[in-house]
Structure formats: C-alpha cells, structure tokens
Structure 1
Amino acid sequence: WSPKHRLFYYLIAAYTMFVEDLPGHPVGMPFPGGQVVEKRGTEYYCPIRDKEQDVFFSICNFCPARQTQ
C-alpha cells in the first residue's frame, strides 16, 4: 500500500459514509470469526464497530453502522 492507495481508500469511504449514508464496509463483507456487516430494515450493523480504538487507521468513528448485538 502506498500513500496514494490509502488516500483513495479514505476518499471512497468518506463518500460512502457522508454522502451515501452507508457503512464504510459493504453489506455482506466477512470478518474473522464468520461475522458479516448486515442490513436490518433501514439500519446497518457491523460486528467490529466497537473495535475502532484497536486500529489506528480506523474509519469506524465516522461510520453510520451500529454494533451488532
């Protein structure tokens, strides 16, 4: 990953979250442990939403998804 790749990633994520009001990771994206991002009605749920402090480059602070219960 170069700085240009990271910038592109953040630009796409920002557009997705702030303009489209969608989660940064697409619905159905798998995470370790077999969990996925889900859509229930009009709400989005993410299994790693509360882990944003563990990853320095996390975009979770800006994501409209809620933590999976």
Structure 2
Amino acid sequence: MEEIINDKEDYDLLNTLERRKSILYREIQYLDNEYFIDNINVEDFNSSRAELVSEVSKIIDQINLQSSKQDI
C-alpha cells in the first residue's frame, strides 16, 4: 500500500512540474512577443527572460530527477 501512495504522490508531483513548465514556456513566449512589439525595454526583457529560463531549467532538472526515480 505504501508503494501505491508513493507512486501517486510521484505522479502528482510530475504532473505539477509539467504544468509549471508549460506555464513558464508560455510566459517566455508572451515576453518575447511583448519585446518584439516594443512593449518592454531591453533591460527588463533580458532580466525577466533570464529569470524565467532559470526557473524552467530548475523545473526540468526536477522532472528528470523524478522520472529517473520512477524508472528505478
């Protein structure tokens, strides 16, 4: 029973991470579009984009770790 609960928790965590990754990708796309049409200055664009990319990178690392944990 313990293994089933852990599997569900792992599955829920993986789904949450995947959803967060998708949201961040959309935010990056929106930011890129705002910059392209000159609604945001270059300094704000660069700092905001760097923060979003950094967060996505951390999420992807967590997804990979979680996925490899499930493969064991």
TM-score class normalised by the smaller sequence: 0.3 to 0.5
TM-score (norm 2): 0.34
Q: Which has the higher contact order (CA 8 A, sep 6+)?
A: 2
- Higher Cα Rg, which structure: 2
TM-score (norm 1): 0.35
The structure whose residues are more often strand, as a share, is: 1
The structure whose residues are more often helix, as a share, is: 2
